[in-house]
Structure 1
Amino acid sequence: MPDLSETATGEFQPKPTPLSLVCPVCRATQGVSDQCRRCRADLSSINTLRRSEAFASLAALMNLVAGNQSDFKQSLRTLELLAPQKAKALHHLDQTMPTDD
């Protein structure tokens, strides 16, 4: 259920979700869009970065599951630049997965 508390401007401010975006200019929470609904700031660079992060995360996870260690490590290096916490979690997952002996 969304948070229906009013902001200082009298607008209802929904709680952020993984698919929402908080405008770095005016702090408005909104769905993914290339322009802020409130202040009209250009958010396209943020969306491009988020897509790159999602792609690198998915690539690393797919390579890990498939057992492609060299490709996993390359994807993980990319993810470390974009989302260090996600990279750390995937690295930990790699360390705890059983090996085929």
Structure 2
Amino acid sequence: MRVFIDKEVHSLIEEFYDTALFLHRALDEQTVISKVNRLYGAMEALGNYARIYPLARLKKEWIEKEYREFICEDFHFAYQIYTLPDGEEIVRIHDACHSLIYHE
């Protein structure tokens, strides 16, 4: 399945790591780049195994929208599988939240 990532998800990842670099002097830019590359690799690969992850269980908004959830590099990602009019199935990642701020 092809994977589509909402702009908000890109922004949330960038904002989190910009803040982390500012607050944690020991965190270097290369480490962040490596983490971000792994995140995007995992999101792209999600299309191969999107059905194995369960529905979200903690964030109320994600539960109400019946999002599925997967975790990578301490980020929780909310997504859904859609079927397009031509029958193609796609994955759309709608939201993301780092484990440090993941709560209801």
TM-score normalised by the shorter chain: which range applies? 0.3 to 0.5
Q: TM-score, normalised by structure 1?
A: 0.35
Q: TM-score, normalised by structure 2?
A: 0.34
Larger radius of gyration: 1
* Greater fraction strand: 2
Higher relative contact order (CA 8 A, sep 6+): 2
